[in-house]
Structure 1
Amino acid sequence: MTSSHVFHRSLTYEPLLAVRAEGNYIYLKDGRKILDGSGGAAVTSIGHGDKRVIASILDQLQTVDYVHSGTFSNKAAEELANELIEESGMARVVFVSGGSEAIESAIKLTRQYHLENKQPERVNFIARKQSYHGNTLGALGLCRHTARRAPFLPYFSSCFHYVSPCFAYHYKLDNESDEGYVKRLADELEAKFQELGPNTVAAFFAETIVGATSGCTPAVPGYFKAMRDICDRHGALLVLDEIMCGVGRTGKMHAWQWEGLSSPPDIQVLGKGLGGGYAPLAAVLMSNRVVNAFLAGSGAFNNGYTYQSHAVGCRAALEVIKIMKEDGLIEQCHQRGLFLEKILNEKLSDHAHVGDIRGRGLFWSVEFIKNKATKEMYPSTFLFIDSIIKECIERGVVIYPGSKGTADGVNGDHVLIAPPYTITEDELVFLVDSLKSSIEIVLN
């Protein structure tokens, strides 16, 4: 039992009290200075306490603080929309307060798109096992992570269906080529379409790089092109969730820009790094294909939130993206990511209990394994990730704990590294050295 009246995530452990955050560091009440090695949950992108963002927020509060989007728009939302559309090649955008709201909106947008096209039979959504799309019931139902879903199983829709993830470390066969693996996964998705009836499938949802559940897992080359081809062939939408991996986190503005797609996804969801931690904000971007169906049909989206297009949140995000561009932070994220990949492999790849190191940009994960040769995982009852996190904090760095169930929703363990794009090479070395020492203490 803690003394706090806040209903924290754990009622037996009192979170550390942060009293200041500046640059790449978080300062605690007890005087300690902690390097932010995960940006919270891959949220902080340009560092903490940037005075330019603070000034823009204060300026916005002096002009328009809040107006209801049912009647009014605001300059910050309009300018942020222009910025995101120019960067992505999409057509329109909806702004909401967080990633789960954005996923719920994307589900409803997909459903209404098919209604506008006079295809009400398209009720089925296909997502992937080991996915995570949010914590509200619709978003959680779309996920296929066993442990996170377990308490709420009675409430999930039968319209959600699942196929295997593109997770090469655990599921690509020995001696199987990338092309062969992609074909196998494409055949599975095609089979799922046929099982459900191709004309009943509304969309295929996927994280471009899977985030917290399996740990920064990129697809093998050609995967998303194959998934796109199947969706297009059957009239379903391709929806990419970049709540965690988007807005420059991978070294490009959008993670799908690495995937060789000839056009953007039909719908894309952004969050976390969009507000950079300065304001809660997420976005649903949509293509001309989606917008044109509404223009030719009802002309209205049957969805709305109290804080939709919130002026202060949009102004903060606008300034965050401006700073990314002016300071060259997305390219810096790419370069720092190459350096991080190098030192992670140099310092950790030979460890007896490090199974895989994977990621892109400043979005990396280290997966732990009991037996490296057989990929045998630690038993689900062996809970050690929190101990690694605590050891890291003792050394002055915080990283993100992957939830138990990296491989299949029950078994497997990893930690996630996603620092601000402003992190220096020296700080990255300190981070990895601290992690290495913590692993040795806990697992040896």
Structure 2
Amino acid sequence: MSPSAVVNKRAVVVEPETTGHKNVKTKSVLLHRHIHYEPSTVVAAKGNYVELNSGQKILDATGGAAVSCLGHGNQRVKEAINRQLDQVAYCASLFFGSSAGEALAKELVDGTNGQMARAYIVCSGSEAMEATMKLARQYFLECAPAQPERVNFIARKESYHGTTLGGLSMSGHVGRRALFEPMLLGNVSRVSACNAYRGMKEGESTKEYVARLAQELDDEFVRLGPQTVCAFVAEPVVGAALGCVPAVPGYFQAMKAVCDKYGALLVFDEVMSGMGRSGTLHAWEQEGVVPDIETIGKGLGGGYAAVAGLLIGHRVIHVLDKGTGAFSHGHTYQGHPVACAAALEVQRIVREEGLVENARRMGEVLEKQLKERLSSHPNVGDIRGRGLFWGIELVRDKATKEPFDPKDGIAMALHEKGLEPKHSISLYPGTGTVDGKSGDHIMLAPAYNTTEADITLIVDRTTAAIEDFFAQRSYH
């Protein structure tokens, strides 16, 4: 899935990770994220670095969009892709399967310790969310008795679930929705995100906060008519829309209880936070809750192929098995053999080399160093995350948590500061952190095989870029 949108001074929606920091008039016939400006071209990439056509080497502290979980240029993955190309590059899933697809599905289901029943492989997180919405609807049509009145979904504010019209309808990111609002689905409503930094009231305990959010969800079910709701959809750790915000303890258990009360499905969007990124293979492992459907992507294939998917629980598969036995959905490139081979090798490397555990351990180092170096900075409001997935929320006033004016474009400007040769680091920017419109954050999402020395270098450069950036502005 794409990151949160940034509206630049020309009032054009662009994607931060691919917006060039050089204002050079483009002569390209390729439609880039901004038609008048072209990004710097990557000519080589190895390990934690990407090399630009200018010769500059950038420390990729974000894995692109939290994608490159093994870093760049992994030889094993390249060899696996070549072997698959020698066997078969493409086969139509309407007629045929592939050994790579079968092996990947087994690897993924085994990775859930039997909690999930089947895997469904597509090309992007947005496609995964589209498939999830259709699968949830079909589940209730095939239940005994059928429940055709279930057409609604409840998601959360300040969320991001994809850029296609269905995924964007599910999303609560105001900036990305704005241009297309009249075209979006009307059967998705939203409740508050679980964001302790912004959402907890003064003096409110975690238990009280969870109870309040659970009641809000319950009230929304009642408002819609409990019998009309297909699913509650949420990111276990909110990525681009909020900047690596994990739920407080007990939150998802309370949300599941509400879903169970009304017979709705629980869907976790782990496209950004899953497949090891949060320090466990699946982010839900830290919540004590297993979703009915989980979307996965980014870290699934590590950027070596366009691949994402669904992990589907036994409850859903059992109903389809007793019903039509067929998911009424499909894509030309679903289960693409080369994508499956790439993802399979990535997942085998992650498992064989203990990289999820390394992500957890290095995440603790990253948290410690970030907080030691940046907690006292007057424009750093909050540092939060899990595993190798950390966000830094930037504020005008630390005491009041006042955000910057969106017109200042702080997150994008800091990203551009990081790309300057003296810093040469990629910092992943996001906006709308407070209410979908105001608020700025940056994220860090290093490769799972990162070392302590790598973490120290990342923190050094991040700190230097932030200090340099704010020293040049009169915000404190």
Q: Per the shorter chain, which TM-score range? A: over 0.9
Query: What is the CA distance between 1:187 and its match in structure 2?
Result: 0.3
1:333 & 1:307 partners in 2: Cα distance?
A: 31
| Residue of structure 2 equivalent to 1:297 | 323
1:326 & 1:284 partners in 2: Cα distance?
A: 23
Query: What is the CA distance between 1:14 and its match in structure 2?
Result: 2.0
Alignment of 1:180 with 2:208, yes or no, is yes
**Given the alignment, which residue of 357, 361, 374 partners 2:400?**
374
State TM-score, norm by structure 2: 0.91
1:6 & 1:422 partners in 2: Cα distance?
A: 34
1:409-440 C-alpha deviation (Å, 9 max, x unpaired): 00100001001112222222222222222222
Query: What is the CA distance between 1:25 and its match in structure 2?
Result: 1.0
The 3-state SS of whatever aligns with 2:407 is: coil
Query: What is the CA distance between 1:27 and its match in structure 2?
Result: 1.2
Count the aligned residue pairs: 441
The 3-state SS of whatever aligns with 2:258 is: helix
| Residue of structure 1 equivalent to 2:52 | 28
1:108 & 1:363 partners in 2: Cα distance?
A: 30
Q: Describe how 1:229-378 pairs up with structure 2 within 5 A.
A: 229-261=257-289, 264-378=290-404
Query: What is the CA distance between 1:377 and its match in structure 2?
Result: 0.9
Query: What is the CA distance between 1:84 and its match in structure 2?
Result: 0.8
2:416 & 2:408 partners in 1: Cα distance?
A: 16
The 3-state SS of whatever aligns with 1:174 is: coil
2:257 & 2:412 partners in 1: Cα distance?
A: 41
The 3-state SS of whatever aligns with 2:467 is: helix
Query: What is the CA distance between 1:442 and its match in structure 2?
Result: 2.1
| Residue of structure 1 equivalent to 2:165 | 137
The 3-state SS of whatever aligns with 1:202 is: strand
1:32-61 C-alpha deviation (Å, 9 max, x unpaired): 211110001000001111110000000000
Query: What is the CA distance between 1:380 and its match in structure 2?
Result: 1.7
Alignment of 1:96 with 2:122, yes or no, is yes
The 3-state SS of whatever aligns with 1:68 is: coil
Alignment of 1:18 with 2:42, yes or no, is yes
| Matched AA of 1:163 | V
| Residue of structure 1 equivalent to 2:134 | 108
The 3-state SS of whatever aligns with 2:87 is: coil
Query: What is the CA distance between 1:388 and its match in structure 2?
Result: 1.3
**Given the alignment, which residue of 71, 92, 111 partners 1:68?**
92
The 3-state SS of whatever aligns with 1:91 is: strand
CA contact (8 A) 1:250 1:333 kept: yes
RMSD across aligned positions (CA): 0.9
The 3-state SS of whatever aligns with 2:121 is: strand
Alignment of 1:433 with 2:460, yes or no, is yes
The 3-state SS of whatever aligns with 2:295 is: strand
**Given the alignment, which residue of 194, 198, 223 partners 2:251?**
223
Query: What is the CA distance between 1:169 and its match in structure 2?
Result: 0.4
CA contact (8 A) 1:384 1:442 kept: no
Alignment of 1:159 with 2:171, yes or no, is no
CA contact (8 A) 1:38 1:419 kept: yes
Percent identical among aligned pairs is: 50
The 3-state SS of whatever aligns with 1:355 is: strand
CA contact (8 A) 1:134 1:140 kept: yes
Query: What is the CA distance between 1:387 and its match in structure 2?
Result: 2.1
CA contact (8 A) 2:175 2:432 kept: yes
CA contact (8 A) 1:129 1:162 kept: yes
Query: What is the CA distance between 1:384 and its match in structure 2?
Result: 2.1
Query: What is the CA distance between 1:233 and its match in structure 2?
Result: 1.2
1:218-255 C-alpha deviation (Å, 9 max, x unpaired): 00000000111111111100000000001100111000
CA contact (8 A) 1:268 1:284 kept: yes
Query: What is the CA distance between 1:69 and its match in structure 2?
Result: 0.6
| Residue of structure 1 equivalent to 2:4 | none
1:288-347 C-alpha deviation (Å, 9 max, x unpaired): 110111111111111000001000000100000111112111111111100000000000
2:89 & 2:35 partners in 1: Cα distance?
A: 35
CA contact (8 A) 1:79 1:318 kept: yes
Query: What is the CA distance between 1:108 and its match in structure 2?
Result: 0.3
CA contact (8 A) 2:404 2:410 kept: no
| Matched AA of 1:332 | N
The 3-state SS of whatever aligns with 1:397 is: coil
State TM-score, norm by structure 1: 0.98
The 3-state SS of whatever aligns with 1:6 is: coil
5+ residue gaps in structure 1?
none
| Matched AA of 1:383 | G
Q: Describe how 1:38-77 pairs up with structure 2 within 5 A.
A: 38-77=62-101
| Matched AA of 1:411 | S
| Matched AA of 1:46 | L
Alignment of 1:399 with 2:423, yes or no, is no
| Matched AA of 1:28 | L
2:148 & 2:86 partners in 1: Cα distance?
A: 46
The 3-state SS of whatever aligns with 1:27 is: strand
Alignment of 1:147 with 2:183, yes or no, is no
| Matched AA of 2:343 | A
CA contact (8 A) 1:24 1:422 kept: no
| Matched AA of 1:43 | V
1:284 & 1:309 partners in 2: Cα distance?
A: 11
